[in-house]
Amino acid sequence: MMVTLLGATTLVLVTLAPWVLSAAAGGKNLKSPQKVEVDVIDDNFILRWNRSEESVGNVTFSFDCQKPEMDNWIKLPGCQNITSTKCNFSSLKLNVYEEIKLRIRAEKENTSSWYEVDSFIPFRKAQIGPPEVHLEAEDKAIVIYISPPGTEDSVMWALDRSSFTYSLVIWKNSSSVEERIVNIYSRHKISKLSPETTYCLKVKAALLTSRKIGVYSPVHCIKTTVCTLGGRGRWIT
């Protein structure tokens, strides 16, 4: 009878041993996140990912990164102990022309294995954001002032600010018919418009040498004037 009980006890221990070892060795029973996406728009770096079905409750997520000159992984700023499935690592100082590697894991009572994201070069992955647009109205004309995408100290477009080309779509506010004007400059005047008429427009930027085409700016509207002495129109929101 004692031998039988001893055998049953041994069987239980043998059965439990792999589970115990798995948890102690890094928690392989907690699955790592999947389908990690990296969105780069101008100098903004955003990570999005899917949590596994079991990654609920008090699960957090953390990223590491590795630059070309590094042998070791370092913690990714802004992406540590995240409870959601999105984080911003725009504060990381990068050479946008060099490859970077990222990895992520889930953390609860234990941790999942690392999920490595395909390495990428930020400049190649970057999308062009909307340019900044300012309008002034003149007699039967609109003057358009365009600032390049990003900020004045943009790292992503530091070598390309003077290389942007711009496309414009303009239409009368009361009409659904759009008139397209392409390859405008950072300062452009549209003449021969109807007086005292509201026109709306949107602008997008492109880098033809890099085959990158940006997204349109928000729609801006302004009313032309009729004064021949050069009166200025006002913004319409």
Domain with residue 186: its CATH number is: 2.60.40.10
Domains identified in the chain, total number: 2
Q: Are residues 56 and 114 in the same domain?
A: yes
pLDDT of 1 above 60: no
Q: Are residues 120 and 178 in the same domain?
A: no
Q: What is the pLDDT of residues 151-191, one digit of tens each?
A: 888 899 999 999 999 999 999 988 777 787 878 989 999 99
In angstroms, rounded to a whole number, what is the distance separating the alpha carbons of residues 13 and 19?
10
Q: What is the pLDDT of residue 167?
A: 94
Q: Are residues 153 and 224 in the same domain?
A: yes
Q: What percent of the chain has pLDDT over 90?
A: 62
Does any domain span residue 26?
no
Quick check: helix, strand or coil at residue 45? strand
Q: Does 204 or 3 have the greater pLDDT score?
A: 204
In angstroms, rounded to a whole number, what is the distance separating the alpha carbons of residues 157 and 131?
12
- Tokens 């999942």 correspond to what residue? 112
Q: Are residues 183 and 105 in the same domain?
A: no
Domain boundary pick from 101, 125, 149: 125
Q: Are residues 107 and 92 in the same domain?
A: yes
For the CA atoms of the chain, what is the radius of gyration?
28
- Domain hosting residue 73, numbered range: 31-125
Mean pLDDT of 127-154: 94
- Residue 7's H or E segment, with its range, is helix 2-24
Q: Which residues contact 18 (CB under 8 A, 6 or more apart)?
A: none
User: What band does 57 get if pLDDT is binned at 50, 70 and 90?
Assistant: low
Does any domain span residue 17?
no
pLDDT of 78 above 70: yes
Does any domain span residue 10?
no
Q: Does 98 or 228 have the greater pLDDT score?
A: 98
When mean pLDDT is compared across 16-20, 77-81, 140-144, 146-150, the lowest value belongs to 16-20
Does any domain span residue 19?
no
Q: Are residues 113 and 197 in the same domain?
A: no
Q: Are residues 136 and 231 in the same domain?
A: yes
Q: Are residues 187 and 213 in the same domain?
A: yes
Domain boundary pick from 125, 153, 184: 125
In angstroms, rounded to a whole number, what is the distance separating the alpha carbons of residues 130 and 235?
19
Q: Are residues 116 and 147 in the same domain?
A: no
Polymer length in residues for the chain: 237
Q: What is the pLDDT of residue 54?
A: 58
Q: What is the pLDDT of residue 58?
A: 81
Q: Which residues contact 138 (CB under 8 A, 6 or more apart)?
A: 189, 224, 225, 230, 231, 232, 233
Q: Are residues 41 and 77 in the same domain?
A: yes
Domain boundary pick from 125, 155, 190: 125
Q: What is the pLDDT of residue 211?
A: 92
